[in-house]
């Protein structure tokens, strides 16, 4: 015999007073989220800055060296924090085509790429164009450093810094595969980009031919070099009978290209008794310059 409860349940219309299938479960997110117009503007806090480093230098050493460089073309815009205005040398501000503004530190940061360590000083203006290869050769005897498709701005900045420290005659880069001397490159160079003469050339092989015609001996740094660099320089009489030298370094990944290597007078290696296969190109440049200039007889 059926109970009263069973009889009452049987009389309820189907579909009424029954819990929904998904009752007690959260709705899917798309059902809770209000629909937004397709072209509705994003909230201001989600808009990303499009600031880049075009024409910008920042950091004390990079900017002060730029202001001292009479070959830099204007107009130039200098931005200083209140604290930096008290420490900058007044003589640096006495040049034509320079406009100076004082801003708060966060305001300077907003004009620069994210993470730029500006130290309360930034400069905006035309990028350095460099000089001709002939101008570098006119500097007299010494070492010229050539970079074969080295593209990393921090590596090139570090190489400029080493070049300035060891007193190289000049630096040669391929025009199409070298970043402009600004931003991170200039910050890493710590002012050396405005002190070391540099040339951008179209063809490195032709440039090596021209350097050879003017009495330079070129040495390409490569792991397959027959002699280590120190031995080769001694054999060539560097610093005694040989007074003009070109050191050629290859790119971070591929090293010297075949045609560039073939146009070098010699290939030499840096001994690595630790057994590691290669060095960062900026470290290789420093070691090579030490061998050529700090150990010159």
* Window from 44-53, 163-172, 226-235, 241-250 with minimum mean pLDDT: 44-53
- Reading the block at residue 218, the tokens are 């070129």
Quote the pLDDT of residue 273: 82
- Residue in the structure block whose two tokens are 């009752």: 23
The set of residues, in sequence order, having a beta carbon less than 8 Å from that of 100 and lying 6+ positions away, is 78, 79, 80, 93
pLDDT computed for residue 293 by the predictor: 94
**Distance in angstroms between the alpha carbons of the first and the last residue of the chain:** 119
CA-to-CA separations, 254 to 187, 193, 249, 258, 296, in angstroms, rounded: 26, 25, 11, 10, 30
Most confidently modeled range among 17-26, 133-142, 174-183 = 133-142
User: In the block, which residue shows the tokens 């280590």?
Assistant: 228
Q: How does pLDDT run across 3-16, given as a tens digit for each residue?
A: 444 444 444 444 44
Q: Report yes or no: 57 and 123 within 8 Å, Cβ to Cβ.
A: yes
Structure-token match 């591929």, residue found: 254
Euclidean distance between CA atoms 200 and 131, whole angstroms: 8
Residue 79 backbone class (left: φ over 0; alpha: ψ -120 to 50; beta: rest): beta
Q: How many CB atoms within 10 Å of residue 10?
A: 8
Asked if residues 99 and 76 have their Cβ atoms less than 8 Å apart, the reply is yes
Q: What is the CA radius of gyration of the chain?
A: 32
Q: For 65-77, what is each residue's pLDDT tens digit?
A: 999 999 898 899 9
Say what percent of the chain tops pLDDT 90.
Answer: 70
* Start-end of CATH 3.40.1280.10 domains in the chain: 133-294
pLDDT at position 224 is 84
The pTM assigned to this predicted structure is 0.80
Closest CA relative to residue 125, chosen from 173, 53, 198, 192: 53
- CATH T-level assignment (fold) for domain 133-294: Alpha/beta knot (3.40.1280)
């Amino acid at each position: 015999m059926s109970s009263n409860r069973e009889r009452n349940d049987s009389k309820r219309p189907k579909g009424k007073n029954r819990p929904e299938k998904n009752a007690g479960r959260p709705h899917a997110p798309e059902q809770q989220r209000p629909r937004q117009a397709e072209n509705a503007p994003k909230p201001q806090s989600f808009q990303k800055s499009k600031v880049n480093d075009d024409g910008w230098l920042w950091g004390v050493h990079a900017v002060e060296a730029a202001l001292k460089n009479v070959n830099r073309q204007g107009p130039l815009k200098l931005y200083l924090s209140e604290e930096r205005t008290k420490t900058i040398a007044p003589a640096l501000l006495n040049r034509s085509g320079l406009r100076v503004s004082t801003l708060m530190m966060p305001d300077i940061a907003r004009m620069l790429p994210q993470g730029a360590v500006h130290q309360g000083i930034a400069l905006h203006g035309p990028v350095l164009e460099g000089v001709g290869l002939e101008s570098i050769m006119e500097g007299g005897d010494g070492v010229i450093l050539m970079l074969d498709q080295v593209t990393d701005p921090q590596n090139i900045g570090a190489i400029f810094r080493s070049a300035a420290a060891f007193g190289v005659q000049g630096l040669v880069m391929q025009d199409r595969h070298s970043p402009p001397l600004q931003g991170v490159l200039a910050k890493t160079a710590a002012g050396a980009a405005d002190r070391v003469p540099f040339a951008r050339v179209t063809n490195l092989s032709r440039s090596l031919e021209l350097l050879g015609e003017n009495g330079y001996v070129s040495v390409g740094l490569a792991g397959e070099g027959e002699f280590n660099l120190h031995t080769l320089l001694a054999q060539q009489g560097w610093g005694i009978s040989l007074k003009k030298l070109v050191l050629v370094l290859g790119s971070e990944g591929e090293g010297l290209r075949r045609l560039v290597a073939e146009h070098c007078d010699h290939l030499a290696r840096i001994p690595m008794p630790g057994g590691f296969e290669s060095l960062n190109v900026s470290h290789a440049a420093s070691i090579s310059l030490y061998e050529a200039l700090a150990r010159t007889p």
